[in-house]
Amino acid sequence: MSVTAQPALLIVATQVVPLQYLALVPGGLWLTVAGLTFGLERRGIGN
């Protein structure tokens, strides 16, 4: 996945998913997702 497409997907996801549901997700899970996303971006840039 290209780096430029990820912000667009994030915007779409936040538009579709209710904010009340997002608020229920533990902060630790968000940190994990952010870490994985960052790792994948770094690996993609490395290639």
pLDDT in tens, the chain (47 residues): 556 777 877 777 777 777 777 777 788 888 888 899 888 888 876 65
Spatial separation of the C-alpha atoms in residues 47 and 36, rounded to whole Å: 17
Q: Which domain holds residue 34?
A: 5-46
For the chain, what's the residue count? 47
Would you say 47 and 9 are in contact if contact means Cβ atoms under 8 Å apart? no
Alpha carbon distances (Å) from 6 to 1, 3, 24, 28, 36: 7, 6, 23, 21, 13
Q: Total structural domains in the chain?
A: 1
